[in-house]
Structure 1
């Protein structure tokens, strides 16, 4: 199970919206000042990530929690997100060149764009299907601390 810390910012039905700070491995790497990821992080900065997670423990707004995602679900989603657009480009370009007639280069470019568009269309349906499967959704594993609420009547 991949775990990440976050804070509950809203309750949405039986799920909660969580915000978490993006972390990278740049601090652990010996070439952190020379790589593209480090450069992009310095240019654009780090922005918090928001996600919806199942809430079996009844976390409330303000709670700091640990969110988990199965490794299998993460790997399948990452593989689909990275491989499908590349496969769409390659297959579309190959088909365009093969059946391009007198202008195989132009047909190859158009085929690649069509393949990419089809891959993104497929990914959209795939992500909707995954969102409906509870075992593929992030889930709150435990509460780290609870929110502190003080009312005026509690003060001396």
Structure 2
């Protein structure tokens, strides 16, 4: 479970709106002062984001309380594979299929791009729906 600290800003039924500070992996890195990515992450620090999280345990919270929210690691991996790997695999498959069919180069490129676009559309189709959206929704774990 990936956990993050947040502050409750509003409370609803089964849903809690929280404010969390955006962080990156650079915040814990020892080389952040000598790395350009670390410098950029410091520039962006202090930015906050408001999100709605499920409260499946019906934990009683009030605005202003600090809480821990979490997201299943498997959900993040599945979403990454669906969004990045599926279109890339179809792009490569399109190029190989075009080559196997003996198409000229520009036709291979068009076929590969069409299959990649199909991969993005398929990923979108697979990631919509109430059951799927609930899988990728962070949940309220506990009060700090």
TM-score relative to the length of structure 1: 0.68
* CA–CA distance in structure 1, aligned partners of residues 113 and 74 of structure 2: 30
**Residue matched to 1:94:** 96
CA offset digits 1:79-127 (Å, max 9, x no partner)? 32331232122122223344463x3x21222223222212221222232
Change (3 A) 1:40 1:114: farther
* CA–CA distance in structure 2, aligned partners of residues 39 and 76 of structure 1: 30
**Residue matched to 1:150:** none
* CA–CA distance in structure 2, aligned partners of residues 100 and 48 of structure 1: 53
Shift of the alpha carbon at 1:30? 4.2
The structure that has the greater radius of gyration is 1
Change (3 A) 1:9 1:71: same
Give yes or no for contact 1:66–1:143 (8 Å, CA) kept in 2: yes
Q: Unpaired segments of 5 or more residues in structure 1?
A: 145-156
Give yes or no for contact 2:24–2:41 (8 Å, CA) kept in 1: no
Q: CA RMSD in A?
A: 2.8
CA offset digits 1:20-78 (Å, max 9, x no partner)? 2122222433443335x4365367x2443443311131434433211012222222222
TM-score relative to the length of structure 2: 0.73
2:75 to 73, 76, 79: 73
Whether 1:142 and 2:123 are equivalent positions in the alignment is no
* CA–CA distance in structure 2, aligned partners of residues 58 and 124 of structure 1: 35
